[in-house]
């Protein structure tokens, strides 16, 4: 394995990658996009902070790249869509700099409230301007927190120690969760109208870009103070500068900017503003923690596991993953089975029943798509890009959860809609390591989904199974297992034979010519 580490990520933090046979290249100088494109081709993993832009062009040139690690929280410097399209996992380190960013938010809030930078500058210029630098206390003020994730929650906890009341706006958490944090969850407009201080802890997305624009600023209480240690672009810098100059906003403390490094922001010439050069995560402890976290996530992925902090795929806790693992393996086999017995699949309906009814089954559904698409596409398919590739092919997916397990403790049924009609296959896990195919097109079977399988729909009448066995024997192919599913004597049935070797095309064609056999298929589930 070859791993490339850029942007000054701490060497001590990537010790998890120092293994026999693994080459870790730690580059201290800044590479241009062209340099990165020319050199990325042989690397299996890439670790960056915020400086390097991992663009679509870089990803397209990364022939061997399997995983990108961001030593920090935000991944706006990585083209997620391009990475997902190529099946490259993107992981981050959301916990490592939580305390550093929360403490920096409080440091800026205090500096803004008490005019600390102005006092320092004034004194160093020989002035004693006490009367011009009267500040305000945090005690009994209302703090509005935009975003109650890890950092926003940590800020709330510390602000309450200053005897501040906390309002929160976050569309993705419940009132109960906010209450546990001691935060009153309110609509955005209410937060803007009631807050004395406002601190931002949201990602930069299309929904949050310029969330605090001129209109939002006009709703704020006169004299409000704003702190941003999240992402540049959430505040309209020109609108903020104008509101400060008119006195509507008492001041702002900003650590992040729309363009970085910042050279021309209107905030640079604005009074009552405290500015820092993106220092939110810049502590010795945070830089070490994020490097360790992302290195461990990458090592886990390269070892064949699923990382806990994947950004572009479902994140699964280890204890949940242990439960899901046999069903994920079964699901991939079911998807592959369908792709080999049915062509032109346009829609999938996945039904989970029994114990699976109450589980988070998204990763299982994705595994079905992975197994299916691997058989019909030249693209590299994995759990990262399977959903994307299915959408691109126009495959619609529906999932259903129902309580009845149909005599099985757990059951996954996949119904595929094709131009020729519907094909169904169902599976169950009898023991942690015993997956089974239990139904094909409504006929019950008990087939181990592995190796070479001959699936032969046929008319249930004497002699057909014997003829198939004779043909296989004459071709020197041993039958390992046999299952026959039927609903009534003499009616339609399905035969599933496990063989020790693949069937030559001529043998399969001959079997299909046997009267009473309707389109036998060979399925390979290695």
Q: Quick check: is 260 catalytic? A: yes
Domain 98-275 has CATH 3.40.50.2000: no
What is d(CA 442, CA 319) in angstroms, rounded to the nearest whole number?
Answer: 34
Tokens of 393: 């092919």
Q: Across residues 510-523, what is the average pLDDT?
A: 95
> Which listed residue (278, 289, 411, 458) is catalytic?
278
Q: Which residue has the higher pLDDT, 205 or 327?
A: 327
Sign of CA dihedral 278, 11, 91, 83: positive
Rg (CA), the chain: 30
403 has a pLDDT exceeding 80: no
Which residues are CB-neighbours of 132 under 8 A, at least 6 positions away? none
Give residue-wise pLDDT tens across range 125-179: 999 989 899 999 999 999 999 999 889 999 999 999 999 999 999 988 888 889 9
Give residue-wise pLDDT tens across range 86-136: 989 999 988 888 999 999 999 999 999 999 999 999 999 999 989 899 999
- What's the pLDDT score for residue 420? 81
Give me the sheet containing 521-525, strands edge to edge.
479-486, 492-499, 451-459, 521-525
Q: Across residues 471-492, what is the average pLDDT?
A: 95
360 has a pLDDT exceeding 90: no
Tell the CATH topology of 450-526: Alpha-Beta Plaits (3.30.70)
Q: Quick check: is 104 catalytic? A: no
Q: Across residues 279-295, what is the average pLDDT?
A: 91
> Which listed residue (260, 285, 398, 420) is catalytic?
260
Range in 294-298, 322-326, 427-431, 440-444 with the lowest mean pLDDT: 322-326
321 has a pLDDT exceeding 60: yes
> Which listed residue (201, 231, 436, 458) is catalytic?
231
Give residue-wise pLDDT tens across range 64-100: 999 999 998 878 899 988 998 898 999 998 888 899 9
- What's the pLDDT score for residue 317? 63
Domain 317-449 has CATH 3.40.50.2300: no
CATH topology match: 2-95+286-302 vs 98-275: yes
- What's the pLDDT score for residue 76? 84
What is d(CA 468, CA 455) in angstroms, rounded to the nearest whole number?
Answer: 11
Assigned superfamily of 2-95+286-302 = NAD(P)-binding Rossmann-like Domain (3.40.50.720)
Q: Across residues 398-411, what is the average pLDDT?
A: 81
Q: Across residues 239-266, what is the average pLDDT?
A: 95
Q: Quick check: is 278 catalytic? A: yes
Residue 51 CB neighbours (<10 A): 14
Q: What is the pTM of this model?
A: 0.64
**Residue 145, phi then psi, degrees to nearest 5:** -110, 115
Mean pLDDT of the chain: 92
What share of the chain has pLDDT > 90, as a percent? Answer: 73
What share of the chain has pLDDT > 70, as a percent? Answer: 98
Give residue-wise pLDDT tens across range 177-236: 899 999 999 999 999 999 999 999 998 888 899 999 999 999 999 999 999 999 999 999
405 has a pLDDT exceeding 60: no
- What's the pLDDT score for residue 94? 81
15 has a pLDDT exceeding 90: no
Domain boundaries, the chain: 2-95+286-302, 98-275, 317-449, 450-526
Q: What is the 3-state secondary structure (H, E, C) of 459-503?
A: ECCCCHHHHHHHHHHHCCCCEEEEEEEECCCCCEEEEEEEECCCC
């Amino acid at each position: 394995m070859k791993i490339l580490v850029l942007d000054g990520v701490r060497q001590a933090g990537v010790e998890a990658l120092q293994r026999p046979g693994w080459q870790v290249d730690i580059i201290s100088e800044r590479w241009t996009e062209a340099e990165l494109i020319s050199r990325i081709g042989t690397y299996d993993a890439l670790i960056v902070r915020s400086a390097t832009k991992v663009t679509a062009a870089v990803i397209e040139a990364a022939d061997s790249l399997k995983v990108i690690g961001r030593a920090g929280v935000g991944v706006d410097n990585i083209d997620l869509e391009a990475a997902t399209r190529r099946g490259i996992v993107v992981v981050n380190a959301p916990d490592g700099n939580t305390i550093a960013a929360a403490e920096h938010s409080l440091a800026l809030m205090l500096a803004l409230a008490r005019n600390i930078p102005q006092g320092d500058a004034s004194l160093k210029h020989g002035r004693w301007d006490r009367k011009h630098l009267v500040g305000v206390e945090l005690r009994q003020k209302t703090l509005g927190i935009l975003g109650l994730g890890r950092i926003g929650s940590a800020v709330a906890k510390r602000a309450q120690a200053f005897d501040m009341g906390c309002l929160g706006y976050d569309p993705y958490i419940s009132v109960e969760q906010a209450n546990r944090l001691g935060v009153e969850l309110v609509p955005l407009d209410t937060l803007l109208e009631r807050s004395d201080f406002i601190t931002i802890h949201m990602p930069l997305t299309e929904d949050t870009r310029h969330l605090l624009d001129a209109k939002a600023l006009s709703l704020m209480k006169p004299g409000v103070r704003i702190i941003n240690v999240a992402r540049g672009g959430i505040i309209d810098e020109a609108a903020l500068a104008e509101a400060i100059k008119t006195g509507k906003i008492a001041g702002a403390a900003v650590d992040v900017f729309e363009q970085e490094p910042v050279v021309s922001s209107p905030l640079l010439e604005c009074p009552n503003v405290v500015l820092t050069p993106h220092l939110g995560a810049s502590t010795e402890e945070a830089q070490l923690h994020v490097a360790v976290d992302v290195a461990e996530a990458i090592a886990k992925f390269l070892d064949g596991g699923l990382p806990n902090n994947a950004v572009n795929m479902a994140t699964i806790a280890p204890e949940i993953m242990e439960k899901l693992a046999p069903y994920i393996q079964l699901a991939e086999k079911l998807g592959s089975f369908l792709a080999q017995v049915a062509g032109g699949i346009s829609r999938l309906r996945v039904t989970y029943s029994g114990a699976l009814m109450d589980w988070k089954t998204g990763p299982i559904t994705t595994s079905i798509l992975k197994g299916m698409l691997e058989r019909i596409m030249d693209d590299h398919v994995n759990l990262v890009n399977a959903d994307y590739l299915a959408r691109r092919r126009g495959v619609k997916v529906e999932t259903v959860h129902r309580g009845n397990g149909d005599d099985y403790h757990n059951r996954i049924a996949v119904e595929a809609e094709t131009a020729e009609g519907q094909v169904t296959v169902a599976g169950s896990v009898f023991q942690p390591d015993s997956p089974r195919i239990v139904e094909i097109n409504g006929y019950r079977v008990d087939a181990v989904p592995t190796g070479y399988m001959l699936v032969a729909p046929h008319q249930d009448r004497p002699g057909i199974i014997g003829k198939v066995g004779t043909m296989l024997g004459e071709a020197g192919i041993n039958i390992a297992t046999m299952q026959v599913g039927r609903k009534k004597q003499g009616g339609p049935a399905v035969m599933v034979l496990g063989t020790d070797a693949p069937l030559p095309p001529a043998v399969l064609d001959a079997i299909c010519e046997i009267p009473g056999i309707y389109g036998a298929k060979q399925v390979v589930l290695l």
